[in-house]
Structure 1
Amino acid sequence: MAFLVDAWQFVVGTLLPFLVVLTLIVFVHEMGHYLVGRWSGIGVTAFSIGFGPELAGFNDRHGTRWKLCAIPLGGYVKFFGDEDVSSSSTDQSALDALTPAERARTFPGAALWKRAATVAAGPIANFILAIAIFAVLFSLYGRRVADPVVSEVRAGSAAEEAGIRTGDRLLAIDGVPVATFDDVRRYVSVRPEMRIVVTVERGAEKLDFPMTPKRTELTDQFGNKMELGVIGVVTDEAAGRFRTVTYGPLEAVGEGARQSWHIVTGTFDYISNLIAGRMKADQLGGPIRVAQASGQMATLGVAALLQLAAMLSVSIGLLNLMPVPVLDGGHLVFYAIEAVRGKPVGPNAQEIAYRIGIALVLSLMVFATWNDISMLFSRT
């Protein structure tokens, strides 16, 4: 009986929120491809959420098969003229048999700019989704902020060693202005063991304090551990004047765009720290960790789950723009080469590149999943 209860809690508390978040992100990504492809005059044979056997579906009046498949870890849009769902290969003999008008409706027969726009539309749709979600959340709930005024300097911290004092107002870090305490945390967290210069206001003086954030393992309310850069300053209600900032519709969109941009820059900061050895690779998570995070955010409410969806949407959009064959970014690289050369990359070269790309993506998935499994066992 206990097993059934645990299984039910897993399905409702973890699996269902994960599938809702993933389906939303995948649907919007593929809809970006679909809408721009259709707008460009390219025919679509299938729009699928998931892979594998079809569970349900229907045909629309344009001849597109809309379907839901058994393995809900992704999706695809298949265009006319594609031999496979990745648009990576073409049945040339079938294309040669088409009339010029029919060929123009195929993906490989479309103009270069139409193919590039159709491919780029997927990741762009992910960014738009994230901005829209953040904008709605900021419009409805505002944003909780605090002034970057120090109420406490932790003993033995980088800030104490540098000479920061209680009451100091942080003005800038490395010349970048900071308006809120979150700005400080965001900038410092991705710079462990990197020298920074903190500018503070102390009375009528402006002082610069060089320091190096310490790489510190932190644990969130759910027990998840992460390594971040920390300088050891804290604010409180009195010093930081905690308050909720409200936004109008246009302001919320702008703030949503800024929030999405922070995720992009944070991702590149993490990659550079990973290469430099300042952060561990075990923080790279896969589907298990995403599912776990979905369940955890669901316990905090719909707003928290939507915020996670927005963050993941940016990450998936950015991942798809990486210049790796089989990803959207890899296709765009091939189109850029085609634009320069005046002709497509040869089929043999494309085949080799796609094989390498598949190997890289699968290796990344295996590594991320291994991290997820290791994390689960470390908690037992």
Structure 2
Amino acid sequence: METLLSFIVVFGLLVFIHEWGHLVFAKRAGILCREFAIGFGPKIFSFERNETIYTIRLLPLGGYVRMAGEDPETIQIKPGYDIGLVLNNEDKVEKIIINNKSKHPEARVVQVEQIDLEHALEIVAYDEHDEKVTYSVDEKAKLIQDEIATQIAPWHRQFGSKTVGQRSLAIFAGPLMNFVLAFVLFTLFALFQGLPVDEARIGQITDEGVAKEAGLMEGDVVLSIDSSPVDSWIDMTAVIQQNPNEPIDFEINRNGEALVIEVTPAERENPQGEAEGFIGIMQPSEFSLFGSIVFGAQETWFFTTMIFDVLSLILTGDFSIDYVAGPVGIYNYTGEAAALGIFVLMRWAAALSVNLGIINLLPIPAMDGGRLVFLGLEAVRGKPIDPQKEGMVHFVGFALLFLLVIVVTWNDINRLFM
């Protein structure tokens, strides 16, 4: 249960901040955002605010912001249709009743001759006296079909009406916010945990370590080990690791008092399979607001370059599917991070956020990077790519991505049972 909750919180945060970036910059450009969704599939929860419906959906596999004009409008009104019109105080149409007109006795029932809900915002229709009347439509009017209201999208509120720069920023803002989130999480980690200091000084001592049994205390400054001076944390730990099960003398300074304490490092196996000593101490740390900000930037840059190093293996032919984790693998690693504490989970979430930002910026169809490529081509050509052709490319890209997810997930499952 802890793993599940941790996964939902971490993944939900990453998706939320990504889609929130799209939403904020799309709205700043004046684009009507119909829905802000976390997850896919059936709705679990929803509410409406400032023209946008916010939903949580059943399948936690991502999210989306549905902007007006990106997809064909699902409600179409043609000449000859009988519709109901509800006018506001300015005699502009504020509701257009498509069906179930009997439930809206306040509506005027008319027969459509011409309708333009994108540019002119007018409806030319015949009223009950068979007279032709022209109605002005409010730009925030709503279409009511099966008692479900959908706000109309005049051309100036649609995605396609905005400049290439505005559309590009709305798309780029999603991955950008993932990098911002990573920077914030890394900075908070350093603020709460402190910054590691390369000093020959005892940091936090674990309860089960031999250092506590021997009498070492947090804050002790190590002057030498076995009469050999040590000047840094790296020097000190190197001596400890080289002497498993061998007693060594620590000459320390404790609040101005010189002491010599004998410690026998316990033995453990390092990642290379070799025996090494350890005594159960943590590296000393210090707290600094400026240092934490620098640490946040450095860690974000480190993980960015590391991910690009892995992706570069595709060009050299050294890339392996084992370098990639799907939903199952991420779920498993999130559980392991959560078991090690909130701060380890925080760093894991930050690393995942960088990963999500980079993957979304790759020039892959159906991803943000693929959409930016088409916007770049539009800027060069001076006109947009045929929407049907672009849609087909994104559809094929999405299908291939879905296939990749299946392969990676199968590989994740196999690794769990190896």
TM-score when scaled to structure 2? Answer: 0.61
Which entry has the higher C-alpha Rg, 1 or 2?
A: 2
**Partner residue, 2:8:** 19
Q: Aligned partners of 1:219 and 1:324: how far apart in 2? A: 40
3-state SS of paired residue (1:108): helix
Which piece of structure 1 moves more, 365-374 or 329-338?
365-374
- Please state how far the C-alpha of 1:302 moved relative to its aligned partner: 1.0
**Partner residue, 1:141:** 193
| Cα pair 2:194 2:288 within 8 Å, conserved | no
**Partner residue, 1:367:** 407
| Cα pair 2:195 2:292 within 8 Å, conserved | no
**Partner residue, 1:291:** 331
- Please state how far the C-alpha of 1:106 moved relative to its aligned partner: 1.0
- Please state how far the C-alpha of 1:336 moved relative to its aligned partner: 0.8
Letter in 2 for 1:110: K
Question: Compared with structure 1, are the counterparts of its residues 313 and 113 closer, same or farther at alpha carbon in structure 2 (3 Å cutoff)?
Answer: same
| Structure 2, unaligned runs of 5 or more | 78-114, 121-138, 140-153, 200-227, 235-268
The higher-RCO structure (CA 8 Å, 6+ apart) is 1
Question: Compared with structure 1, are the counterparts of its residues 236 and 32 closer, same or farther at alpha carbon in structure 2 (3 Å cutoff)?
Answer: same
Question: Compared with structure 1, are the counterparts of its residues 345 and 180 closer, same or farther at alpha carbon in structure 2 (3 Å cutoff)?
Answer: farther
Letter in 2 for 1:41: G
> Paired residue for 1:125, among 156, 177, 186?
177
**Partner residue, 1:65:** 53
3-state SS of paired residue (1:296): helix
| Cα pair 1:321 1:330 within 8 Å, conserved | yes
Letter in 2 for 1:19: I
Letter in 2 for 1:71: L
- Please state how far the C-alpha of 1:266 moved relative to its aligned partner: 0.7
Q: Aligned partners of 1:279 and 1:342: how far apart in 2? A: 38
- Please state how far the C-alpha of 1:33 moved relative to its aligned partner: 0.5
- Please state how far the C-alpha of 1:349 moved relative to its aligned partner: 2.9
Question: Compared with structure 1, are the counterparts of its residues 324 and 298 closer, same or farther at alpha carbon in structure 2 (3 Å cutoff)?
Answer: same
Which piece of structure 1 moves more, 353-362 or 270-279?
270-279
Matched, 1:75 2:63: yes
> Paired residue for 1:338, among 358, 369, 378?
378
Aligned residue pair count: 283
> Paired residue for 2:168, among 113, 116, 123?
116
- 1:159-238 to 2 correspondences below 5 Å: none
> Over the residues paired in the alignment, what is the CA RMSD in angstroms?
3.3
Q: Aligned partners of 1:324 and 1:235: how far apart in 2? A: 48
**Partner residue, 1:105:** 157
Q: Aligned partners of 1:352 and 1:336: how far apart in 2? A: 18
3-state SS of paired residue (1:271): helix
More strand by share: 2
| Cα pair 2:326 2:405 within 8 Å, conserved | yes
Identity %: 34
| Cα pair 2:196 2:286 within 8 Å, conserved | no
